[in-house]
Structure 1
Amino acid sequence: MTEEPLYPLRRTAAFREWSPSIHYAKYQVLQPAALEWRRLYDYELLYVYEGEAATEMNGRRHAVRTGQLVFLPAGIRHRNAVVAPNTRLLGIHFDFFDELAVLSDADLVVNEETADAAKFCREAHAEPFAPLSAFAVLTPPPACVALMEAIVEEFSARPLGYELACKSLMLGVLSQLLRLQYAEPLSGATIHVARIRELMAEIERRPAERWSNPLLAERLAMNEDHMAKLFKGVAGQAPGEFVRAARHREARRLLRESDLTAERIGELVGYADLHYFSRVFRKLEGVSPRAYRKLSRVL
């Protein structure tokens, strides 16, 4: 289509002018399928927790694997597909300058017969960073994933002031993604990066295992100190912190999506003692597992 090269529209703006608003934030579990071609009026981050997805865009097919996200810009025609069974996703629709009033999905996805050129949102750009749309697939650090999860929770529960909270969290997400452009490569560690990412994905799938530093070092065939340094360089967290975060993410998912008892959930994520699980959960989340479950189900 002749107008596509014009998109995404961009606006050079100082960071203090960025004012993102969230239009949609949700978890999904999908089975393999190719979705319809579409364009968006806003922007979308689609993060893969587990499984694999793919996006066709600008004449290329991009694989989006566990631990990665695809950045879908406004106005760019694209088609998403789920490649692996039970692929777990987190999707966030947003704009950069609080431009779009959203009342229904029709305000997000373009109906080509009635496309409104005035509704396409602009992408913020500030030096020294390149626009995010220059990078279709990104690997966000765990801290960024935690911010995206917090956005879903705020947007779903909608407590008083959730719009302000979402705006603040989204600014954090954007800053984390932009900083990836200047992340220092791990000197001499290229051959290990893929293996560490595979191990990170395995920890996410099986957080209840006893992922000690000696075990991780053995799996990666290196000494503990070297393993810990390289692991932190790739994950953005020390191994023990990453394991705790993975267990916490899975505990939150089970509290949201199942009716299992807190004691059973603690066991499933690696904590045999309910009191210890509750203490760790409260420290990380600020509330008990039971209180979190109640809050997550308030819509």
Structure 2
Amino acid sequence: MTIHKTVFPLQRTAPFREWSPIIHYAKSQKLEQGKLAPRRIYNFELLYVSQGEAATIMNGRRYELSTGHLIFLPSGVLHQNEVVSPGGTRFLGIHFDFFGELDIHTEYDMIVGDAAPDLDRFATEAVPDVFPPLSQQVVYTPTLACVALMEQLVNEFTMRPLGYELACKALMLNILAHLLRLPHSRSHAFSSQHAIRLQELAEEIERHPSAAWTNAMIAERLDLSLDHAAKLFRELVGRPPGEYVASIRHREARKLLRETDMSIEEIGDAVGYSGIHYFSRQFRKHEGVSASEYRKLSQVL
């Protein structure tokens, strides 16, 4: 059978105990405006729009994507991605397979380059018996907790500390669980006005991590009591307000350490920590290494 007559993605019903995802590629990057070449991939990709607008043409349909949207790109399915924003779009991409069945060594191994490829090389989508397959609904709006897991996975895959493969597998399973649950819980969870306000506030925290985001301020912005605000945050974001703010600040600090020449003290001020010693303690607490060590490691890798 040829590739044009094969129905993709290949699928297999499998209980969760058989799921064993392997990460082949995980990266955050900004791409400039324009259309990318049409392609097929041997594995699967979660492509999340961190900032800006994008589009994907797949199966004769154009999917419009904006900040906060994720598209599931199945193995073997021809698609074309486009960066729509004039100033470029920032993506987070994770390539993986469900059963650890592919032998991927480079980025080029993920892309189908032959006109008549070996069909045995295409990864199989795991189909659970209690959820529809992810490929049934390709566009998702992941929760903030899910996005945090994806960012953590990218960091593990990039820095590659001892045992990163195990950590990436665990994170990927958690991410898949979040996505599979979305159609069942998302519409109900975000139906309330308070939840909409929280979503907007969480996005504001991401844009301005250096602001003084106290629990009292967050509760006031949501027009809720401290206890109710904390409960809503846990339900929709997956963690209490203070932990969420700290995670956003830590993510921004990692980015500035990797991508700028700012001093450690300047980065601490930029993400909301007054004083280099306090920032250094908080960074080591979250990352396990000092800020200066993280910067050196990221430059080597």
TM-score, with structure 2 as normaliser: 0.86
1:257 is matched with 259
Structure 1 residue 43: deviation in Å?
0.3
Alpha-carbon distance in 2 for matches of 1:83, 1:111: 26
Alpha-carbon distance in 2 for matches of 1:189, 1:24: 35
1:47 is matched with 48
1:92 is matched with 94
Number of aligned residues: 298
2:214 is matched with 212
1:227 and 1:168, CA in 2 relative to 1: closer, same or farther beyond 3 A?
Answer: closer
Alpha-carbon distance in 2 for matches of 1:136, 1:192: 28
- Is contact 2:39–2:80 with CA below 8 Å preserved after alignment? yes
- Is contact 2:72–2:138 with CA below 8 Å preserved after alignment? yes
Structure 1 residue 28: deviation in Å?
0.6
Task: Determine whether 1:7 maps to 2:8.
Answer: yes
- Is contact 1:153–1:296 with CA below 8 Å preserved after alignment? no
- Is contact 1:42–1:95 with CA below 8 Å preserved after alignment? yes
- Is contact 2:33–2:83 with CA below 8 Å preserved after alignment? yes
Alpha-carbon distance in 1 for matches of 2:43, 2:175: 16
- Is contact 1:20–1:171 with CA below 8 Å preserved after alignment? yes
My pick for the range that moved more, 176-185 or 66-75, is: 176-185
The amino acid that maps onto 1:61 is R
- Is contact 1:22–1:166 with CA below 8 Å preserved after alignment? yes
Following superposition of structure 1 onto structure 2, how do residues 78-89 of structure 1 map, counting pairs within 5 Å? 78-84=79-85, 85-89=87-91
- Is contact 1:44–1:91 with CA below 8 Å preserved after alignment? yes
The amino acid that maps onto 2:66 is R
CA RMSD after TM alignment? 2.7
1:70 and 1:25, CA in 2 relative to 1: closer, same or farther beyond 3 A?
Answer: same
Structure 1 residue 115: deviation in Å?
2.6
The amino acid that maps onto 2:212 is R
1:101 is matched with 103
1:240 and 1:192, CA in 2 relative to 1: closer, same or farther beyond 3 A?
Answer: same
- Is contact 1:186–1:230 with CA below 8 Å preserved after alignment? no
Residues 47-98 of structure 1: CA distance to partner in whole angstroms, max 9, x if unpaired? 2222222222233322333233211111112111222224222111111111
- Is contact 1:13–1:124 with CA below 8 Å preserved after alignment? yes
Following superposition of structure 1 onto structure 2, how do residues 223-242 of structure 1 map, counting pairs within 5 Å? 223-225=224-226, 227-242=229-244
1:60 is matched with 61
My pick for the range that moved more, 285-294 or 74-83, is: 285-294
1:155 and 1:2, CA in 2 relative to 1: closer, same or farther beyond 3 A?
Answer: closer
Alpha-carbon distance in 2 for matches of 1:77, 1:115: 13
Residues 202-230 of structure 1: CA distance to partner in whole angstroms, max 9, x if unpaired? 2212211223345445555x334555544
Alpha-carbon distance in 2 for matches of 1:204, 1:4: 45
- Is contact 1:52–1:83 with CA below 8 Å preserved after alignment? yes
Alpha-carbon distance in 2 for matches of 1:229, 1:72: 34
1:73 is matched with 74
Following superposition of structure 1 onto structure 2, how do residues 1-299 of structure 1 map, counting pairs within 5 Å? 3=4, 6-84=7-85, 85-111=87-113, 113-183=115-185, 186=188, 189-217=191-219, 219-220=221-222, 222-225=223-226, 227-299=229-301
Alpha-carbon distance in 2 for matches of 1:169, 1:61: 30
Alpha-carbon distance in 1 for matches of 2:238, 2:167: 24
- Is contact 2:3–2:116 with CA below 8 Å preserved after alignment? no
Counting aligned pairs with the same residue, the percent is 54
Alpha-carbon distance in 1 for matches of 2:159, 2:220: 43
1:150 and 1:223, CA in 2 relative to 1: closer, same or farther beyond 3 A?
Answer: closer
Alpha-carbon distance in 1 for matches of 2:30, 2:194: 30
My pick for the range that moved more, 223-232 or 261-270, is: 223-232
- Is contact 1:49–1:66 with CA below 8 Å preserved after alignment? yes
The amino acid that maps onto 1:130 is P
Secondary structure of the structure 2 residue equivalent to 1:271: coil
The amino acid that maps onto 1:39 is R
My pick for the range that moved more, 248-257 or 85-94, is: 85-94
My pick for the range that moved more, 163-172 or 226-235, is: 226-235
